[in-house]
Structure 1
Amino acid sequence: MVGQVHHYCSASVFLSFIKNKEIWLTALSQSNDHLEGTWMLRKWLELFDRSKDQDKTLKKKGARFAVETILDMYVALGTCFSEERDLLSQWRGYAADGTGFSISFDKEALTALASNSTETLPLTMSKVYYGHKDNKQSNEVIRILNDAFGEDAEKYKEYPDGIGDRQLAYTREKFKQQKNATRLLFTIKNEAFAEEREWRLFTFESVSKIKGVEFRESRGVLSPFVKFKIPVEAIRGITLGPTNKTPLKTIKNALQIHGITCPVSPSNASYRGF
């Protein structure tokens, strides 16, 4: 059983966290994995190509159209954690080439926060699975996608002008089923990321429904985010990155000033950075 999960971040994000006791849930589809939320969709759609059905191309278009309609209506905002506290690839990718920090949290505390979340920010604490490495979970998501969108694929029609139509009468229950199935796309990733052993705290909801949504600019791109409070009781420790030169005493003083009591330790990774 996983007792703790760890969030890697830059020094500036770490300082903001200890001051404000909050993390930012950011747009998962704008993460460093450009297939975030679509990798499993592609794998599911590829199954249509293997079918002997004469209308397989049209059905594949219908399936894609149906899922992308849901993806266009909602946004996945989340923050990511790793089961690994001191992993070099995490330091390099998410903690400013090792100059940042790893913040350790009690996983059950985060799960409880998600369970008690509100309608204006409905959250789940979800384990991430990795493609063919986790075949059981991947196949289950495929089954759920088939159940939710199979009828759309079957009834999809395309007119001579190229406009598609599913010709379906929707119920609230059907819409909820499709939303829940689409949310699962953000729990399966390419197995190339398996080393991360990721968990994520995230919501899949309409931007207009999420209370407190703001927008930020990064490298010329705008993206939504929402701030989420984390109680200090959920914090279990702080690890300095392998190229972080801040004295341990300074970190402990900063934590004390901001009302946080937890162990502080340096990374064991022998990495000099660039």
Structure 2
Amino acid sequence: MNKLGIEKMDFKSLVPFISNEFKRYFSKNIKALYHYTHLDGALGIISKKTFWASHIKFMNDSKEYSHGLEVCENIVKKLINELPMDNPRRSYLEEVFTILEEQDTDIFVVSFCESGDLLSQWRGYSRSQYGISIGFDYTSLFDISFQLSEQSFFPRKVIYDQKVQERIIRRIIDLALISVEMSSMQPDYAPKEVARTIGYFLPLFKDSTFSEEKEWRIIVTNSKSMSYQHHLNFRSRDNIILPYIEMKMHNKAKENNNKLPINQLIIGPSGTNEFTARSVKYFLKNSGYASVPIKVSKIPYR
């Protein structure tokens, strides 16, 4: 036990410890999560039970990842400057900071939203094509494994409050520094482990101006330091070539016949949404989802 009464933890146990300590920010009592896409995307997800996790640096917001990194770097820099040059905690934090700056991790994201009919989401994800949002039963989503190699992934809530973001980062660093103080030789957490722990949460930090999105994320990482690499694919989108990783879904509840927990589909704003809805209904009927209700967006088409 350390001074806080916490057992010695490695990276894998520190992440759930922080997640549990801040769980009221990472969880919410909701009924559904929605994934916005276009008709081709919906066909692939429902037919193949596969999501495409897109590289975070090529998503709609160019500061998707840099915001959290900037918040973290400001905290670490401030702590470094407050410590004497010969203090071991200073050299420890400097190493953490260097690893964060030079990290070689590629981050891939699948996005969900708490609202199924949001104008900003239609604009961002349907990309002038016929848009559709797929509603998933929130509780049942956790009976689904989004599998890569031997890992499973689940949606996590994005945090928009910068004060909470700073508290999470500071808490990780505080635990790490305590391990430095208590160790006469090797601290419990190597700087690389601390940087990896921080990196686990950074993709969940977004600027407060995006709070309307009420986003949740499934996050997948590729790193040269990992013992394996997830297979990388590429596709064109508008003016870029977008890297992505395929995530196959598997329903652990056998009585569901490996079906996705879809509770409704919403057809996005368009001049033909009623006609589109009829075609989607026919597709669902022939794909084993005949009971899934279909709604048409209430947002006026322009």
Q: TM-score, normalised by structure 2?
A: 0.70
Root-mean-square deviation (Å): 3.3
Alignment of 1:96 onto 2:127? yes
Distance in 1 separating the partners of 2:244 and 2:186: 32
Amino acid at match of 2:49: K
CA separation of 1:33 and 1:213: change in aligned 2, threshold 3 A: same
Are 2:76 and 2:97, in contact at CA under 8 Å, matched by a contact in 1? no
Report the CA distance shift for 1:211/1:46 in structure 2 as closer, same or farther (over 3 A).
Answer: closer
Q: Deviations over 1:20-76 (max 9, x none)?
A: 2221122123211222222122123224565663879x978655422133x31x322
Equivalent pairs, count: 251
Matches within 5 A, 1:71-150: 71-72=103-104, 74-97=105-128, 99-114=130-145, 117=147, 120-132=150-162, 135-145=163-173, 147-148=175-176
Structure 1 counterpart of 2:23? none
Cα separation, 1, equivalents of 2:271 and 2:245: 27
Change (3 A) 1:61 1:137: closer
**Which stretches in structure 1 are left out of the alignment for 5+ residues?**
153-167
Q: Is the alpha carbon distance of 1:250 and 1:118 closer, same or farther for their aligned partners in structure 2, counting shifts above 3 Å? A: closer
Question: For 2:245, which of 214, 225, 233 is the aligned residue?
Answer: 225
Whether the 8 Å contact between 1:122 and 1:203 is mirrored in structure 2 is no
Query: Of 253, 261, 268, which residue of structure 2 is paired with 1:241?
Result: 268
Q: Is the 8 A contact 1:10 1:95 kept in 2?
A: yes
In structure 2, what is the equivalent of residue 206 of structure 1?
223
2:298 aligned counterpart, secondary structure: coil
2:215 is aligned with 1:188: no
User: 2:131 is aligned with what amino acid?
Assistant: G
User: How far has the Cα of 1:128 moved from its partner?
Assistant: 0.3
Deviations 1:68-106 (A, max 9, x none): 33x31x322220000011111111111224731000011
Q: Is the 8 A contact 1:212 1:227 kept in 2?
A: no
The secondary structure found in structure 1 opposite 2:82 is coil
| Greater Cα offset, 47-56 or 227-236 | 47-56
Structure 2 contact 33–115 (Cα < 8 Å) conserved: yes
Identity of aligned residues (%): 24
Work out the CA distance in 2 between the residues paired with 1:20 and 1:237: 18
Residue 249 of structure 1, CA deviation = 1.7
Separation in structure 2 between the aligned mates of residue 66 and residue 81 of structure 1, nearest angstrom: 30
Contact 1:102 1:241 in 2 (8 A): yes
* Structure 1 SS opposite 2:139: helix
Q: What's 1:35 paired with?
A: 63
